[in-house]
Structure 1
Amino acid sequence: MGNPTTVEINAEKIVNLEISKIATEMNYVFLSNDHPESLIGDINKLVMHGDKFFLMDKEHTQSIFVFDTSGQFVYRIGPGKGPGEFTSIEDFCIDTENNMLYVLSNDLSEIFKYNMVTGGFVSSIKMKSAYDKLQVITSNKILLLRDGHSYESSPGPFSSNFMCTIDSLGNWIEGWHLSPINPNVYSGLIHVVGNGERDGYTITRMHSDTIYQYDGADMEVKYLLDCGPKRLLDEFYWTSSSKRQGEIMNQSTHFLGNVIDIRNFSLIQYVHNRRYYTYYYDKTAKEGFTVNYVNDIDHVPILQFDCALDSLLVHVMQPQEIELQRNYIVKSGIESKKMQEIAGRIDYDSNPVLMIATLR
């Protein structure tokens, strides 16, 4: 891949980003809750494949929900204590080549495989250590990520690996001890973003200013984020003084680990003076700015985008957020028929609404 790209994040430069400059249209999917198994507590991860949305609710129901692109409920997986069932869920991913859905459960130290079309249980892979995230690279190579020790049998110069690959039987293949610029910051999960279809899988870690890329064979540094006095974070995690921790957080700019990395640009979330921001990095121009989203298409306010699906950007709108945003536009005198329509169709017992921007 060559030398990594340095991205300088200037928290003081905030630019209005009109959505029409990057998207052609905005659409909204109302996830139905008319089935007794369809009520979602929260959405922690969203993947789209074909005509279906795959949604993980890790915090409340410990389940995977599947809806079609019109918002109709298809099926739900978990939780349970029977054969092929799990009691907790850490992560999931899909193997599009083999139409398989993989679910990672730490309670049972297993990876469960399900038929992606029907939701039926197929088989499971026993793990030798707990992990937090997974991504299927091939049918015989699975990438696992966590903040902690890897398989006890891992070779190499480190006694622990934050990342490793295993085969379809759970045998260790290779591992990496992720070494960011701030090696003393051991807090926050590592996770995968991007679908790997073009340049590879983008690997990010909370509080690290290094973004990696894995192409299925090699791990390399992709971006170095330059965002101010970040080295103060080392002291933050070692000091026992809550007052000093507060002072450090007020002084530092740090990376959250949340990245949307697609072909033409990346969206990088960070914290500056305790406030959350998103940085837009144009890969062609090799420059960027902190964004203030302006939805000039239908004037529904956008707080952030949560994930990218092929040529789409998606934001999960919770019912409480929708009510707050409706009140905001009313008080601000903004006219948005679409916002009023969305708010009129939901209540506090409704499932989330997916805001989807189709990219140019």
Structure 2
Amino acid sequence: MPLEVTDASLIGKIDKVIRHEERIFVLDCDIAQAAFCFNLEGKFLFKLGSSGKGPGEYRELRDIVLYPSTNEIGVLQGEKIIWYSTEDGAFTGYTTELENIVLDKVSLLDSTRLIGYANNQCFSKENCSKFYSFTKDAKILNRYLPIEKQEKNLYVDYENPFSGGTYSIGFTHVLNDTIYTINGHGKMVPKVWFDFTDMASNDKYELPKSTKQYEKWFNKTVKNKTVKGLTFYHETNDVIQFKFRRGVDLVWGLFLKETSRLILSENIFADEILFINTNVGIHKDAFIAYFPRGIVLQISESLPSAENEIKDLINTYGKNFYDYMISLDGAANPILVFSKFKNDL
């Protein structure tokens, strides 16, 4: 899905994508410092609010979160969430203001609860946790993973504190090689712990040619709930997508639940989906990724002299993708990709 380029919708880096009915919301925290709305054809519709200190304006933009029951989408400023209509981007007049808690990220936990992540921010002994669940009217319901003094510098994946959410099969968080989930009693507990120590090969810079040993390992570790070295984890009803460190390398994998098939990054398919694209969200059972603007322009520039690759490009991404690429003239937005991984891959 090419995103329309206008003077008001030029995107540098995509940090998050949320799809709601006929709308797609795209967050760029760093370069544009704005949240954009497009329709399902990629046509630009509006921005969410603007920077400032007035009603409905924000001083900074850290994250966005959907509240589907009221058709609102919120912009996280840190200590508060400012809510806008998903229909036209207008300020609804409602804000969620948290006392003594400054959040870095926020997500929807379920239909009535939000969950926020604070990057080791402690205002008092009572307000010293990594995660907080709360209602839209700012009532704190629970705190998870409290921070002790010796844990102040504990590494947490700041870019991806929420590995799951409303759009997958449940909230998950990766910390210290452990996948945490929230159980029925409202407690954040370990779900799976990964151990990669039995995957070492003679050359740590090369992956084995066969995925059989990985498939055996993955089935064993998921069954026994033991795994180590994980840095990324997303799960849907059909597939698990994960990333782990192996030596100095990062290895991507897809695990197809029904067939127990494992696709790793040495496979061409996995390279194409998991390296060229950058994962920014989940919608139902599809991963949302994107081609960065730089890669989009590189592809468009190389097409005139890449006759052998054009057929493969059209077969993989479709004629519309090819037509868009050759139509570019010096300006481009990232291209969204919705990838649903089927069990017969």
TM-score for both structures, normalised by structure 2: 0.73
Q: Per-residue displacement from partner, 1:127-146 (whole Å, max 9, x unpaired)?
A: 22211111233565321112
Length, aligned pairs only: 295
Q: CA deviation at 1:313?
A: 2.7
1:84 paired with 2:66, answer: no
Structure holding more helix per residue: 2
Cα distance in 2 for partners of 1:46, 1:308 equals 8
Gapped runs of 5+ residues in structure 1?
A: 1-28, 230-252
Task: Answer whether contact 1:90 1:132 (CA < 8 A) is retained.
Answer: yes
- The residue that corresponds to 1:204 in the other structure is 174
| CA distance in structure 1 between the aligned counterparts of 2:285 and 2:243, rounded to whole angstroms | 20
TM-score (norm 1): 0.70
Name which structure has the greater RCO, CA cutoff 8 Å, separation 6+.
1
Q: 1:147 to 1:262 in 2, by over 3 A?
A: same
Kept after mapping to 2: 8 A contact 1:139/1:168: no
Identity within the alignment, %: 17
More strand by share: 1
The 1:274/1:288 distance shift into structure 2, 3 A limit, reads same
Residues 296 and 334, structure 2, Cα contact 8 Å, conserved in 1: no
Letter paired with 2:230:
F
CA spacing shift, 1:303–1:94, aligned 2, 3 Å: same
Q: Does residue 53 of the first structure (1) align with residue 28 of the second (2)?
A: no
Provide structure 2 residue ranges, at least 5 long, that are not aligned to the other structure. Answer: 199-227, 315-320
Change (3 A) 1:32 1:287: closer
Aligned partner (choices 187, 193, 198) of residue 224 of structure 1: 193
- Aligned-residue CA RMSD (Å): 3.4
In the alignment, what sits opposite 1:169?
137
1:239-279 deviation digits (Å, cap 9, x = unpaired): xxxxxxxxxxxxxx9433x3332112111123333333212
Contact 1:294 1:301 in 2 (8 A): no
Matched residue, 1:5: none
Partner of 2:96: 125
Change (3 A) 1:340 1:300: farther
Match of 1:260 in 2: 234
In 2: Cα distance, 1:120 partner to 1:210 partner: 40
How many angstroms apart in 2 are the aligned matches of 1:194 and 1:56? 18
Distance 1:139 1:129 in 2: 22
Q: 2:332 aligns with which of 344, 347, 350?
A: 350
Q: Which aligned pairs between 1:1-360 and structure 2 lie closer than 5 A?
A: 29-34=1-6, 36-77=7-48, 78-106=50-78, 109-122=79-92, 123-127=94-98, 128-137=100-109, 141-149=113-121, 152=124, 154=126, 160-177=128-145, 185-189=154-158, 191-196=161-166, 199-205=169-175, 208-214=176-182, 217-228=186-197, 254-256=229-231, 258-284=232-258, 288-292=262-266, 294=268, 303-304=276-277, 306=279, 307-325=281-299, 327=302, 333-334=308-309, 335-338=311-314, 340-360=322-342
